[in-house]
Every structure is written in structure tokens, then in C-alpha cells.
Amino acid sequence: MVINIDKVTKSYRVGSGFFLHGKKKIFALDDVSFTLREEEILGIVGESGSGKTTIARCILALTKIDEGRIEIQGRDIQSASRKEKKDLRSRFAIVFQDPPSNLNPRHRVKNSILRPLLLRGVSPQEAKERALEAMEKVKLDARYLQSFPHELSGGQQQRIAIARALVLRPDVMILDEPTSALDISVQAQILNLLLDLQKEMKMSYIIITHDLNVIRYVCDRVVVMYMGRVVEMADRNTIDQHAKHPYTKLLLASSPVLDPKDREDKRAVRWERRRMSTSKRPVT
Ligand SMILES: Nc1ncnc2c1ncn2[C@@H]1O[C@H](COP(=O)(O)OP(=O)(O)OP(=O)(O)O)[C@@H](O)[C@H]1O
Ligand SMILES: [Mg+2]
């Protein structure tokens, strides 16, 4: 599914009119344009507050834009009717930035996964089948469906959040900082999982991150944002050589390329494998 973002501006009024300066207008997005192509993995990278989550919210029409146009398969999402918005949204799945906000802490995993399906009118039997299929896809034992979120590790919670998105069978998955809360070896597992799923299910991804290594590892193209503006747009392979904007250069300098032959990295991966194999032992 193709998304075309054309000269989008979004501002917020912040502060209170009570104080001397009154309300201030801040531009979360300032003249932002880019395209998501069919079956593409697009990375959005940028420092905190640069407008990454805001752009995701605008694509899903969860918030109104001031100016510009967002087209999904040629259809302007902002001016779409309520029903059309609902239909378009049903082709997206979003994994939120903050892992706990993906899962209700008081509900068993099973309920968190099934609820969005049942709300969309899927029969309970089919919903259950899809949940089991999704658990298999994210390589988690079905017994975790009975768990509460606090009983799971960070990596398992993130797998569940992805499973919850997968059951919706989306065309586009938006992942807001999918790995920032995880340690480096679990990050690699989740990224590999995302790559496998994308190939298998032919989805497009928008991966929001402030980690350039995530971009280097999984994305086809990258959009670099800085203070609400797109300051760079490049293919994964060319960003390292052709970065022009000072912020991109700074980002590249502060995020060295991970070396798979590095001893420390290897040790972390070995340790994590051991931990995962112990945790897979049946509970007696
Ligand atoms: N509902 C809101 N009301 C007022 N200001 C907002 C609102 N949502 C976002 N902002 C502001 O818009 C700017 C962009 O926020 P956004 O959440 O998109 O940043 P981000 O790039 O996702 O940052 P992070 O990496 O920290 O998640 C910030 O300055 C933020 O304070
Ligand atoms: Mg954010």
C-alpha cells in the first residue's frame, strides 16, 4: 500500500494563556514530504521531539494536520468520511513506542490479542485460530496467551505486541521504537523476526527509531527528521557516504556500525541464547 505525504504541517498550541507570554505555537511537523512504497521498509530517524510519533498519528488520521495532504492509495485520509477512515485504518497496525501501552496490564495476553479482532467482527473461533497462528509466527509458545504482561520479559512483551498487530493482517505496520527498550541481543532477534515476517506477509513497514543501527540493519530507505523537518532522505546504503545535513553527520558519528565479529557482541548473543533456551524448558 502506497502512502504519499505531501508538504504536511502540524502545529500545537502549548503553554497557558494565563502566563505573560500566552500560548505559543510549536511546529511538530513543518513542510514534511515523503512516500512509502509498496512492500518497502522505511525508517524514520530523528532525535527526541523531532516529530516522528506525530507523523505516525497523522497517517492514521488520529490527529488533524494544519496544511498539506496525506494520501493512502490515492485517497486523501484527512478529508475521508468516518467509515472510509475506519476502513483505511483497518489496513494498518501500530506497535506503540512504550511497550506497556500495547498491552492492558490487567488482561491476559489472550484477551489483548483477541479484543481488536472481535471488535472488527471476526468470529471467536477464527480469532482464536489467528491468535495461535500469530504466536507461532513470533516464535512464542501458545501457553504465554494465558500470561499477564508483567509475567513476561521485555522481549516477550514486544513479540506479543507484534503478534497483536499481526492478527489484524495489515498491509502496513507502523513500529514506533520497536527495540529501544530491549538489550542488544534481543533487539537483533526482534529485528530478524520483523524482516522474516515482512518477507512472508509482504507488508510495508514504517520503523520509527532514533537508532541508526536499526536503520542500517532493516530499512530500505531512511527519512531523517530534525525539529519537525525532513532534513535528509536516502537509501540505506548511501546514507553513510552521502549524509549532507550536520544532524545526520552527528548521528552517524555517534552510532558506530555494529561488528558481528566483535567479541562483546558475540558474548551477549551467546548469553541471551542460553537464557532463552532455559526459559523454554517446561514449567514443572
Ligand atoms: N498533543 C500534543 N500537544 C502538544 N504538543 C505536542 C503534542 N504531541 C506532540 N507534541 C510536541 O510535538 C513535538 C514532536 O513530538 P513527537 O512525539 O512527534 O516527537 P518524537 O520524535 O516522537 O520524539 P520521541 O523520540 O521522544 O518519541 C514535541 O515537541 C512535542 O512536545
Ligand atoms: Mg515518539
36-55 pLDDT, tens digit each: 999 999 999 998 899 999 99
Region of poorest pLDDT, from 5-14, 71-80, 90-99: 90-99
Per-residue pLDDT for 1 more than 80?
Answer: no
What pLDDT does 281 receive? 43
What are the pocket residues of ligand 1 if the criterion is a CB atom closer than 6 Å to any ligand atom? Answer: 12, 14, 26, 28, 46, 48-54, 97, 210
**101 vs 24 pLDDT, higher one:** 24
Is the pLDDT reported for residue 284 higher than 50? no
Please say whether the beta carbons of 125 and 183 come within 8 A: no
Q: What is the pLDDT of residue 280?
A: 46
Helix axes 263-279, 184-201, angle to 10 degrees: 70
Q: What is the mean pLDDT of residues 1-7?
A: 90
Domains of the chain by residue range: 3-91+170-279
Of 133, 134, 126, 128, nearest to 95 (Cα)? 134
Name which residue sits closest to atom 28 of ligand 1, judged by CA.
49
Note the pLDDT tens digit of each residue in 126-167.
999 999 999 988 889 999 999 999 999 888 898 899 899 989
Mutate to test the pocket of ligand 1, among 16, 23, 26, 94 (most ligand atoms within 8 A of CB): 26
* Ligand 1 atom having least distance to the Cα of 50: 21
Q: Which three cell numbers stand for residue 182?
A: 530491549
Closest-lying ligand 1 atom to the alpha carbon of residue 210 = 25
Please tell me the distance between residue 212's alpha carbon and the centre of ligand 1 in angstroms.
Answer: 20
The second-level CATH assignment, the architecture, of 3-91+170-279 is 3-Layer(aba) Sandwich (3.40)
Segment 270-277 mean pLDDT: 54
pTM of the predicted model as reported, rounded to 2 decimal places: 0.84
Cα–Cα dist 106/154, whole Å: 17
What's the pLDDT band for 216 if we cut at 50, 70, 90?
confident
The ligand minimizing its distance to the Cα of 23 is 1
CA distances from 155 to 64, 152, 167, 217, 282 (A): 33, 8, 19, 18, 19
CA of 13 to the centre of ligand 2 (A): 18
What residue type is assigned to position 116 of the chain?
P
The model's pLDDT over 222-257, given as tens digits with 9 standing for 90+, comes to 999 999 999 999 998 888 788 888 888 888 887 666
Closest Cα to atom 11 of ligand 1? 28
Identify the pLDDT of residue 213. Answer: 83
